[in-house]
């Protein structure tokens, strides 16, 4: 009766079913009757009895599956945290800030462990809020006319002029992606000493982009860089 009473009070449906099945045996019923009540085979009934004898009613509660082992061990995760906190060295790593794809490449080169960006992102979030992605929102003077990009309540400062693109003309602004890529990889988080220094770094970044084997720059039309696109 104690098992049946516990089966009524528990909020775990699987534990309740197993308790009722075992109660049938303790009340003098057969293992076959217990198996029929539990909706399982005789071997499973035997396993439930062993679990109950070893741990009591708590042994009839399903445990949490252990899941897959992490790709990186504790020492490797600590080293990953260290290089993230110290930041990349542009001359060595080729970037000025870490992205997931850069960190995945570092993990492969360092430990020969392949980690997908999504997996690495989850591991970094688990390591603490300090490793969440932070990115400043870029400011734009050029804007398309999509309804969700404008508002009648928008107050434009006097020193900013918004230039709207003609409707259905995304080809006019593909350079934004080119600039974003160059800035994220080679130009952000730097202090430039002069205008010439800025030009030199921009030229170096452009040459790096052109030399990339996985990207191709379609040359400027009439030497106008706004016509550059990546394919």
What are the E-state strand segments in 30-174? 142-143, 163-164
Residue 223: inside a domain: yes
What's the confidence (pLDDT) of residue 37? 87
What's the confidence (pLDDT) of residue 138? 47
Q: Which residue has the higher pLDDT, 117 or 226?
A: 117
Q: Give yes or no for residue 5 having a pLDDT over 80.
A: yes
Q: Is 65 helix (H, G, I), strand (E, B) or coil?
A: coil
Within this chain, do residues 168 and 221 fall inside the same structural domain, yes or no?
Answer: yes
Residue 209: inside a domain: yes
Within this chain, do residues 108 and 44 fall inside the same structural domain, yes or no?
Answer: no
Lowest mean per-residue pLDDT among 3-17, 87-101, 119-133, 179-193: 119-133
What's the confidence (pLDDT) of residue 176? 67
Residue 199: inside a domain: yes
Q: Give yes or no for residue 229 having a pLDDT over 50.
A: no
Record the tokens describing residue 218, joined without a space: 């379609």
Where is 53: in which H helix or E strand? helix 42-55
pLDDT tens digits for 62-88? 876 666 777 888 888 889 888 888 888
What's the confidence (pLDDT) of residue 228? 33
Position 118 confidence tier, pLDDT thresholds 50, 70, 90: confident
What's the confidence (pLDDT) of residue 67? 64
Record the tokens describing residue 64, joined without a space: 């949490």
The answer to whether residues 115 and 72 touch, using CB atoms and an 8 Å cutoff, is yes
Region 135-149: mean pLDDT is 64
Distance between CA atoms of 99 and 105, rounded to whole angstroms?
10
Mean pLDDT (the chain, rounded): 78
Among the listed residues 26, 21, 20, the one whose alpha carbon sits nearest the alpha carbon of residue 4: 20
The number of residues making up the chain comes to 231
Neighbours of 25 (CB within 10 A): 18
Largest Cα–Cα distance of the chain, in whole Å?
A: 95
Domain count across the chain: 3
Distance between CA atoms of 121 and 125, rounded to whole angstroms?
6
Residue 189: inside a domain: yes
Within this chain, do residues 19 and 87 fall inside the same structural domain, yes or no?
Answer: no
* Domain around 98: 74-131
> Which residue, 84, 103, 131, sits at the end of a domain?
131
Region 153-167: mean pLDDT is 79
Distance between CA atoms of 222 and 219, rounded to whole angstroms?
9
The answer to whether residues 80 and 170 touch, using CB atoms and an 8 Å cutoff, is no
Region 152-158: mean pLDDT is 80
The answer to whether residues 60 and 51 touch, using CB atoms and an 8 Å cutoff, is yes
Give the position of tokens 């449906």: 13
Within this chain, do residues 146 and 217 fall inside the same structural domain, yes or no?
Answer: yes
Residue 69: inside a domain: no
Record the tokens describing residue 27, joined without a space: 């009340």
């Amino acid at each position: 009766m104690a098992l049946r009473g516990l089966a009524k009070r528990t909020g775990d449906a699987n534990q309740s079913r197993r308790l009722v099945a075992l109660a049938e045996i303790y009340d003098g019923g057969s293992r076959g009757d217990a198996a029929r009540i539990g909706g399982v085979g005789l071997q499973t009934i035997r396993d439930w009895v062993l679990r109950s004898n070893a741990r009591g009613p708590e042994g009839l509660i399903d445990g949490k599956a252990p899941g897959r082992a992490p790709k990186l061990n504790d020492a490797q995760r600590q080293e990953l945290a260290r290089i993230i906190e110290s930041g990349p060295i542009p001359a060595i790593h080729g970037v000025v800030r870490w992205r997931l794809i850069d960190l995945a490449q570092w993990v492969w080169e360092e430990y020969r462990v392949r980690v997908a960006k999504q997996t690495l992102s989850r591991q970094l979030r688990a390591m603490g809020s300090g490793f969440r992605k932070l990115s400043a929102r870029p400011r734009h003077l050029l804007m398309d006319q999509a309804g969700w990009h404008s508002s009648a309540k928008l107050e434009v400062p006097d020193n900013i002029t918004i230039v709207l693109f003609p409707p259905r003309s995304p080809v006019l602004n593909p350079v934004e992606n080119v600039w974003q890529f160059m800035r994220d990889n080679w130009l952000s988080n730097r202090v430039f000493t002069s205008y010439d220094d800025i030009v030199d770094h921009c030229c170096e970044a452009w040459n790096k982009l052109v030399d990339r084997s996985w990207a191709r720059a379609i040359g400027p039309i009439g030497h106008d860089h706004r016509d550059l696109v990546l394919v």
